Amino acid sequence: MSNWSSGKFTVRVGGGFAPAPARAATPAPVATAADATAAARYRIQGDRLRLAGDVAGADAAYAREMRATVSDPELVRSADAMLAGRFAEAHAALRDVAARRPDDVHALWMLGDLCARAGRNAEAEDLLARCLALAPGFTSARYAYAMVLNWRNKVAETLAEAETLLAADPANPVYRHLKASSLLRLGDDPGAAAAYASVLEADPDQPLTLMSYGHALKTIGRQAEAVDAYRRALALSPGLGEAWWSLANLKTVTFSAGDVAAMDRALGGELAATDRLQLHFALGKAHEDAGRDAEAFAHYERGNALQRSRVDYVADETTIQMRRAKAVLSAPFLAARAGQGSPRPDPIFIVGLPRSGSTLVEQILASHSQVEGTHELPHIPNLAATLAGPARREPEGAYPDVLAALSPGELGPLGEAYLERARIHRKLERPFFIDKLPNNWIHAGLIHLILPRAKIVDARRHPLGCCFSGFKQYFAAGQAFSYDQTDLGRYYRDYVELMAHVDAVLPGRVHRVIYERMVADPEAEVRRLLDYCGLPFEANCLKFYENDRAVRTASSEQVRRPIFTDAAGHWRRFEPFLGPMKAALGPVLDAYPDAPSS
């Protein structure tokens, strides 16, 4: 996954936010405010610090740029307040100036930037858009506007702003980086790799850019070059946990004894929390590959404990959502709405849990001449959030109960809205496309109502195999349930309960792919899958590993090889450590469908 840091968050490709890493960088010489070129110097300093990952330092430099730019006494006082950390005072003063002088572009710029730092991105977007309408050539305001669009996941708009900025300053590495990350998020993976390469041509010693370049290379299947990029990043920053984890996450790299020693040394030093926890996940992989299962599990536990302390997840809320969905989705309710929604059959949704074999199913389907693979699209959860309305926490919103209040005239437009949002990810002229966001299982009812002809494929794997594989995986964003054994077991159990309900009220609506059966008899299972999707059998689907499409998930390298059966029962080595998980899974362990043994 690729990172792009704001003053508060690191935006990760695929959606979601995580606290930005606090990395120190050697500050550039500080110019004085009296210097006529001070503002430009501070902007360059901020750009360099942002590329180096020193978010706080970059924000301070940009604040000094503001202080050196403005001359109006009121704006100078506001800039001084920002530099002193008195943000509430600065905000009040700037709001007053903007109200009295609505055409003051400097006030709009400063207030928009301050709102963005506070996380009020919708307000920031409006202020900065007004500023640029008055002063289209105001580069600093346009850059701030582009970043706010980025944080609001308006990726196409972000790319357009990056192109405008680059037209005026083609060599600017921050603008190039913004373009690269936008291309990656939009699915133009070769373009993103080329853009990151151009950043590195000008400044080859940026470890975070090297890491992002590695992510892009990995996605398009250039594994050896990705490994080289990660290794170069580590040569510059040996404690860069994400680079170590990225090597581990390829699943095909075996760490040497020297690598393990280097990671151990890094853990003994001062590290940001994200680096530390990712090092634990990487060391878990290293020890597991070497057969040191107890040491491996100890590192997985430490990494998970660190991440669990950083995420806001309440297992009861998932259970509440699941039960509310079951209550709404009664058989009479669904029968009364049969045939409503958008009639288009384009999407094939693959749902389930991460690490369930869903990427294998996606790669098989995407090898068919009529199907395009995209990636894990955020659009169904975003529609659900819109329907939920404002709420402090998800279970307190109106969704899914609001589904009962939707008229036939509303269901179709919701389906069309999803298809329009997904359109930007469709690069090929194929009639069908895949949305592989696993968490869409909770939205199976919404999908059925707004897209009744869409296909829903449930990729399922043995509960312990799936949950343990998730437990040893560090996810770049989302999947907050996966960092605790009990949370994982409960989440899997809730998922199974809702999908069983969907099977009962909508028989045959969902096609289930059992991972162990797929690896034991691929041709039979592929034929069943294609029959469900209404697609003719094509031999290419059995040669999915020859498909050179971009793959972004943790299984990217595994699905570039023929099916192998040794992973199906790998979890059994670690069963003695999985007591809490087994207790949380409860009866779903015994109810798992019979499948050929591995």
Q: Tell me the per-residue pLDDT of 97-150, one tens digit each, with 9 for 90 and over.
A: 999 999 999 999 999 999 998 889 999 999 999 999 999 999 999 999 999 999
Q: Record the pTM.
A: 0.80
As a whole number, the mean pLDDT across the chain is: 88
Distance CA 97, CA 76 (A): 12
The side-by-side arrangement of strands in the sheet containing 510-514 is 371-373, 432-435, 347-352, 455-460, 510-514
Asked if 345 and 452 sit in the same domain, the reply is yes
Q: Are 351 and 444 in contact (CB under 8 A)?
A: yes
Whether 233 is in a domain gets the answer no
C-alpha pair distances (Å), 473 with each of 279, 554, 559: 12, 8, 17
Asked if 325 and 370 sit in the same domain, the reply is yes
| Strand pairing report for 17-19 and 9-12 | antiparallel
Band the pLDDT of 202: cuts 50, 70, 90: confident
Asked if 341 and 419 sit in the same domain, the reply is yes
Q: What is the span of the domain harbouring residue 577?
A: 320-591
Whether 173 is in a domain gets the answer yes
Asked if 184 and 53 sit in the same domain, the reply is yes
Q: To 5 degrees, how large is the angle CA 350–CA 352–CA 357?
A: 75
**Higher confidence at residue 559 or residue 522?**
522
Whether 334 is in a domain gets the answer yes
Band the pLDDT of 407: cuts 50, 70, 90: very high
Query: Where are any strands of DSSP class E within 308-369?
Result: 347-352
Model confidence at 301: pLDDT above 50 = yes
Domain count, the chain: 3
* Phi, psi dihedrals of residue 38, rounded to the nearest 5°: -60, -45
**Range with top average pLDDT, 177-186, 212-221, 302-311:** 302-311
pLDDT tens, residue by residue, 246-300: 999 998 899 999 999 999 999 999 999 999 999 999 999 999 999 999 999 999 9
Q: Region 67-86: what's the mean pLDDT?
A: 91
Model confidence at 399: pLDDT above 70 = yes
Band the pLDDT of 7: cuts 50, 70, 90: very low
Q: Are 4 and 21 in contact (CB under 8 A)?
A: no
CA-wise closest residue to 363 among 567, 148, 557? 557
| Of 169, 185, 220, the domain-final residue | 220
Distance CA 119, CA 91 (A): 13
> For residue 466, what is the domain's CATH number?
3.40.50.300
| Strand pairing report for 3-5 and 9-12 | antiparallel
Asked if 26 and 127 sit in the same domain, the reply is yes
Q: Are 181 and 50 in contact (CB under 8 A)?
A: no
CA-wise closest residue to 125 among 106, 155, 145? 145
Q: Region 498-509: what's the mean pLDDT?
A: 98
pLDDT tens, residue by residue, 464-497: 999 999 999 999 778 999 999 999 999 999 999 9
Q: Region 519-540: what's the mean pLDDT?
A: 96
| Of 192, 220, 248, the domain-final residue | 220
Q: What is the reported pLDDT for 10? A: 33
| Strand pairing report for 347-352 and 17-19 | unpaired
pLDDT tens, residue by residue, 24-51: 333 333 334 444 478 888 888 888 888 7
Whether 123 is in a domain gets the answer yes
Distance CA 295, CA 253 (A): 19
Distance CA 124, CA 201 (A): 33
> For residue 41, what is the domain's CATH number?
1.25.40.10
C-alpha pair distances (Å), 512 with each of 160, 235, 532: 41, 45, 10
Whether 230 is in a domain gets the answer no
Asked if 338 and 278 sit in the same domain, the reply is no
Whether 244 is in a domain gets the answer yes
Distance CA 148, CA 323 (A): 36
| Of 310, 332, 353, the domain-final residue | 310
Region of 251 please: left (phi>0), alpha (psi -120 to 50) or beta. Answer: left
Question: How many residues are present in the chain?
Answer: 598
Q: What is the reported pLDDT for 594? A: 62
Asked if 169 and 269 sit in the same domain, the reply is no
Q: Are 253 and 227 in contact (CB under 8 A)?
A: yes
Asked if 19 and 63 sit in the same domain, the reply is yes
Distance CA 193, CA 187 (A): 11
Band the pLDDT of 563: cuts 50, 70, 90: low
Whether 410 is in a domain gets the answer yes
**Higher confidence at residue 153 or residue 156?**
156
CA-wise closest residue to 226 among 241, 238, 215, 239? 215
Q: To 5 degrees, how large is the angle CA 235–CA 237–CA 241?
A: 110
Distance CA 131, CA 89 (A): 22
Asked if 424 and 557 sit in the same domain, the reply is yes
Asked if 280 and 339 sit in the same domain, the reply is no
- Determine what percent of the chain falls in helix, strand and coil, rounding each to the nearest 5: 60, 5, 30
Asked if 196 and 243 sit in the same domain, the reply is no
Q: Are 296 and 288 in contact (CB under 8 A)?
A: yes
Q: What is the reported pLDDT for 562? A: 57
Model confidence at 86: pLDDT above 80 = yes
Distance CA 42, CA 69 (A): 10
Whether 355 is in a domain gets the answer yes
Asked if 272 and 166 sit in the same domain, the reply is no
Q: Region 395-415: what's the mean pLDDT?
A: 93
Q: Are 74 and 97 in contact (CB under 8 A)?
A: yes
**Higher confidence at residue 503 or residue 71?**
503
Burial (CB count <10 Å: 0-12, 13-18, 19+), residue 593: exposed
Instruction: Report the percentage of the chain scoring pLDDT > 90.
Output: 70
